Structure 1
Amino acid sequence: MSRRQAKNKFLLLMIGAVLLIILFFSFIFRFFTDEYRTKAVVEEFYEHEQKGDFTDSWELLHSFMKDRWNKGAFMQDRAHVFINHFGADTFQFTIEEAEEIEDWKMAKDLPPVVKAHKFIVFQTYKGKYGKFSFIQEVYVAEEHGEWRILWDYN
């Protein structure tokens, strides 16, 4: 092998290694950022709600929300309103990313969370009264190392 061919192989190996490193860090950045993880919690919450699994969706609520809704009341209200009252078995949803907010408060009488991520969730139902949609602001804040769902009560 000539010296020139050896240089070309080395150069190709170096370019390949750099591309692999860039790809690796892009993967890490994409799947381990707060933006990705907070949106994943919102998706998980609404996937549970779609299935009528209100026990697991309640588990994703922040303690401020759990103080407002005990588990039994939450499960009963969600099932009553969306399934019994509207006659909808399930719904479709889309999530629109909005913004990161510092020192956000769920309610005036509660302390602020250091950082919250705000999302807009569009839910579309087909029920006994036809097709209808809800738009809800959903916030996600970290609590004890876990991202948790909050709603605005201001």
Structure 2
Amino acid sequence: MRRRRFPPIFVPAIILLVIVLLLFGIGSWLFSSDRNAEEMVEDFYTYEADGDFSRSWELLHPFMQERFAKTAYMQDRTHVFIGHFGAETFTYTISEAEQVDNWKMDEGHEPFETAYKYLVTQHYKGKYGAFHFQQEVYVVEYKGAWRIVWDYNL
């Protein structure tokens, strides 16, 4: 006669524990702050690359929207990137997030408790050849949503 080493409930309990840990890990990864912030940067630059500057403007923090009226922003982006550079679109790369605490976009605003900083490199091919444009982009939370902010500190 064979003896069982573990009670019959032990194996299903271990399997359930593994499943719960996997789901928790995947959920934490999917809903982590820096991942959601990175998705905001991805959305913003996808709109920019598509020339959909109206939609990208909507993803700017209200502090940024105060700096640029929507129509002016759309005209400037079109004029600079398409008009001057002669590039109809671009590709981009986004660095890993760096969390920055108590970051200020400029001296005129209060610091954000938490910001995620990314280095975005836009890759263009235009009438002046291939070139790359880099910008530090910050993502901060505003009323429960992530928004894009640029650095105006010197």
Q: Is contact 2:34–2:97 with CA below 8 Å preserved after alignment?
A: no
Deviation (angstroms), 1:83: 1.1
Deviation (angstroms), 1:150: 0.3
Instruction: Work out the CA distance in 2 between the residues paired with 1:9 and 1:79.
Output: 68
Instruction: Work out the CA distance in 2 between the residues paired with 1:18 and 1:55.
Output: 47
Percent of aligned pairs with the same amino acid = 49
Secondary structure of 1:110's aligned partner? coil
Structure 2 equivalent of residue 16 of structure 1: 15
Q: How does 1:72-83 map to 2 (within 5 A)?
A: 72-83=71-82
CA deviations on 1:128-154 (whole Å, 9 max, x unpaired) are: 111000110000111111110000011
Instruction: Work out the CA distance in 1 between the residues paired with 2:57 and 2:8.
Output: 57
When normalised by structure 1's length, the TM-score is 0.92
Residue type at the aligned position of 1:4: R
Structure 2 equivalent of residue 124 of structure 1: 123
Structure 2 equivalent of residue 96 of structure 1: 95
CA deviations on 1:16-64 (whole Å, 9 max, x unpaired) are: 2111111110111101111111111000100111111111100000011
Deviation (angstroms), 1:9: 6.0
Which is helix-richer, 1 or 2? 1
Instruction: Work out the CA distance in 2 between the residues paired with 1:151 and 1:10.
Output: 56
When normalised by structure 2's length, the TM-score is 0.92
Deviation (angstroms), 1:4: 2.6
Tell me the C-alpha RMSD between the 2 structures: 1.6
Structure 2 equivalent of residue 71 of structure 1: 70
Secondary structure of 2:56's aligned partner? helix
Instruction: After superposing the two structures, state which structure 1 stretch, 59-68 or 10-19, moved more.
Output: 10-19
Instruction: Work out the CA distance in 2 between the residues paired with 1:120 and 1:15.
Output: 43
Deviation (angstroms), 1:15: 2.5
Q: Which runs of 4+ in 1 moved over 3 A?
A: 7-12
